[in-house]
Amino acid sequence: MTQIGIMIEGQEGLNWERWRRICTDVDTLGFASLRRSDHLISLMNAPDRDCIECWASLALAAQWTKRIEFGPMVSPMTFRIPSVLAKVAASVDALSGGRLILGVGAGWNVNEHEMFGIPFLTERERFERLETGIATMRDIWTKTNPKPARNPIRLLLGGKGVKRTLPLVAREAAEWNLSRLDPEMFRQRRELLEQLCRDIGRDPATIKRSIMTTYVIGRNQDELRKRAALLSELLPNLRGKNPDEVLATVRPSAFVGTPDEIAGQMREHAKLGVDLFMLQHFLLDDSDALELLAKEVIPAVA
């Protein structure tokens, strides 16, 4: 069964009131999961936007939700010391009753590292830190108390790299994410991942496969154009475009249309072996869009 989850860019205006409302909506409306980014500043050159701390917000999500899986998308090993991250994650997982999915990555944004005085290592050093960090976390989970409710905690790894990333996914991940809507790339990387799993004696079916992308939904063209106008105010690559231009720009790499149209688009992509669509919800106050997805798209896709 193909699932739908929500992803929040937490550095682009997320505050505590919005986070609580989003947690409640996603949990009660029937979505499968809730993920949020782990960054320290806006990535869209908007320093005035709120950016609440990721792991504090995840601890609250453990209390504010009852059934969904949730977690970071993703926590960088550059400013999350692996042993300390393991301890924090174990506490949050125990608090939630075992619903944490721990997304981890090598770190990539130079600006936030410089602003917070965090060394930004070479790509090779960052990836090596990610690999050794995963081993460190698994070791900590055998020693720490409280222990995770699901021990070891399920790991999410994203990326498309064929030399290091996908082999690491095959060895360590419970979920692999591709952060773009590219059917041919997804098919190619999925097939490679399956072969890598077979090479090490792992059942490829034990890895959930997800795609992260944005969406624009509306009951009709007027609603679509209104949401497109709001996106043009938020996303730098869309600024200055009229609503029709926004829709034309995002359509090739996003789910765009009425609920029926989006459900049809998702069903086509699901045929490639997608288990979870992780939808970037940029309009943080738009509860109506979440309700529309939940009531009309989720049943049609499932």
Q: What are the extents of the domains in the chain?
A: 3-301
Does residue 181 carry a pLDDT above 90?
yes
Q: Name residues whose C-beta falls within 8 Å of residue 126's C-beta, 6 or more positions apart in sequence.
A: 77, 78, 106, 107
The long-range contacts involving 94-98, CB below 8 angstroms and separated by at least 24 positions, are 94/146, 94/147, 94/148, 94/149, 95/59, 95/62, 95/63, 96/61, 96/62, 96/65, 96/70, 96/149, 97/149, 98/148, 98/149, 98/150
The answer to whether residues 186 and 206 touch, using CB atoms and an 8 Å cutoff, is no
Mean pLDDT of 147-156: 96
Does residue 302 carry a pLDDT above 90?
no
pLDDT score recorded for residue 172: 98
The answer to whether residues 289 and 283 touch, using CB atoms and an 8 Å cutoff, is yes
Which of 132, 274, 125 minimizes the C-alpha distance to 209?
274
Average pLDDT, the chain: 97
pLDDT bracket for residue 1 (50, 70, 90): confident
Mean pLDDT of 104-108: 96
229 - beta bridge partners? none
Mean pLDDT of 116-139: 96
Residue-wise pLDDT tens digits, 196-215:
999 999 999 999 999 999 99
Superfamily of domain 3-301: Luciferase-like domain (3.20.20.30)
The secondary structure of 233-253 as a DSSP string is HH-GGGTT--HHHHHHHHGGG
Residue-wise pLDDT tens digits, 225-255:
999 999 999 999 999 999 999 999 999 999 9
Amino acid identity for residue 259 in this structure:
P
Does residue 278 carry a pLDDT above 90?
yes
Which of 94, 85, 29, 98 minimizes the C-alpha distance to 54?
85
Residue-wise pLDDT tens digits, 25-72:
999 999 999 999 999 999 999 999 999 999 999 999 999 999 999 999
- The structure's pTM equals 0.96
Percent of the chain, pLDDT > 90?
99
